[in-house]
């Protein structure tokens, strides 16, 4: 697992060069806009709803002493909860709606990887969007189910450190999952793609770790996160597929 995580991380070192060599930047214009405006929406939501969640949390404190401090902390906690849940939703929204634009990118990388001999599945933009929505809706449900307990545990001192680390790795896994599926959709149906990523979850986590770290970079991070992470994931996924079978006979 650790070795595969590092391999997922190392794929990023060639991403910028691959994008420039294959002239892929033009395909990322709309996904960049989707990413930017989705991030703004989540930020505005965090600002608007943090007070409501903070008030609800503060009501759980029934004592008079320290009430003001608890109210302030509750507002901060409320904002953090909204941001954490917002990041989960953000990933899946941008991945689902960017599918028609990311699939051609993955296909061009595949053509480069196999020197012109590549697998092309005759799918429309609509079918790619439906596939993206299906995968990301499935991942969103599972990620929320796994994340909410760790999100609550993260509020507890000491235990919160480990819970936060687990929460980060869960988010990284599903980010990498979505990035890998842009390539897998040409090779496998829905269920087989899910099983493939499960077998190679370390690679997904490695890819997703950088994805999540990119989001910490103001403005630039949310604009560049998809181009870089999808390119790295495509390279990783193609290498895994190449290990699985002889490609020309696929």
pLDDT tens sequence across 120-169 = 555 666 777 788 888 988 999 999 899 888 888 877 777 888 988 998 99
Name the least confident of 9-18, 72-81, 201-210: 72-81
Q: What is the mean pLDDT of residues 104-123?
A: 73
CA–CA distance, 214 with 229 (Å, rounded to integer): 9
Share of the chain above pLDDT 70, in %: 88
128, 54 Cβ separation under 8 angstroms: no
Count of Cβ atoms closer than 10 Å to residue 138 Cβ: 15
CA distance 214 to 5: 17
What is the predicted pLDDT for the residue at 247? 40
> What was the pLDDT predicted at 51?
67
3-class DSSP string for 99-150: HHHHHHHHHHHHHHHCCCCCCCCCCCHHHHHHHHHHHHHHHHHHHHHHHHHH
User: What DSSP state is assigned to residue 62?
Assistant: -
- What stretch of H or E contains 38? helix 29-58
pLDDT > 90 in the chain, percent: 29
Q: Which two tokens stand for residue 85?
A: 């849940």
CA-CA distance, 114 to 110, in Å (whole number)? 6
Instruction: Indicate the pLDDT class of residue 206, thresholds 50, 70 and 90.
Output: very high
**C-alpha distances out from residue 192 to 196, 237, 238, 248, Å:** 6, 14, 15, 20
Task: Report the predicted TM-score, pTM, of the whole model to 2 decimal places.
Answer: 0.82
- The residue assigned the tokens 């499960």 is 198
Neighbouring residues of 7: CB distance < 8 A, sequence distance ≥ 6? 202, 203, 206, 236
Asked if 125 contacts 103 with a C-beta cutoff of 8 angstroms, the reply is no
- Is residue 99's pLDDT more than 90? no
pLDDT, residue 122, reads 59
Q: Is 246 a residue whose pLDDT tops 70?
A: no
């Amino acid at each position: 697992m650790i070795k595969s995580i590092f391999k997922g991380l190392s794929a990023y070192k060639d991403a910028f060069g691959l994008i420039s060599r294959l002239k892929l930047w033009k395909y990322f214009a709309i996904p960049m806009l989707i990413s930017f405006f989705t991030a703004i929406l989540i930020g505005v939501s965090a600002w608007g709803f943090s007070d409501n969640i903070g008030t609800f949390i503060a009501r759980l404190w029934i004592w008079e002493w320290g009430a003001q401090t608890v109210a302030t902390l509750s507002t901060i906690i409320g904002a953090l909860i909204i941001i954490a849940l917002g990041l989960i939703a953000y990933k899946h929204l941008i991945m689902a709606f960017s599918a028609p634009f990311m699939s051609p990118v993955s296909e061009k990388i595949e053509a480069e990887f196999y020197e012109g001999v590549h697998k092309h599945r005759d799918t429309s933009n609509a079918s790619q969007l439906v596939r993206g929505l299906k995968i990301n809706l499935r991942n969103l449900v599972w990620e929320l189910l796994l994340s909410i307990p760790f999100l609550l545990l993260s509020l507890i001192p000491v235990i919160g450190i480990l819970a936060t680390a687990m929460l980060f790795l869960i988010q990284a896994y599903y980010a990498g999952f979505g990035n890998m599926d842009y390539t897998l959709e040409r090779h496998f149906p829905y269920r087989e793609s899910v099983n493939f990523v499960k077998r190679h979850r370390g690679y997904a986590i490695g890819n997703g770790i950088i994805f999540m770290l990119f989001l910490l970079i103001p403005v630039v991070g949310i604009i560049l996160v998809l181009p870089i992470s999808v390119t790295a994931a495509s390279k990783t996924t193609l290498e895994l597929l190449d290990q699985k079978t002889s490609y020309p006979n696929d």
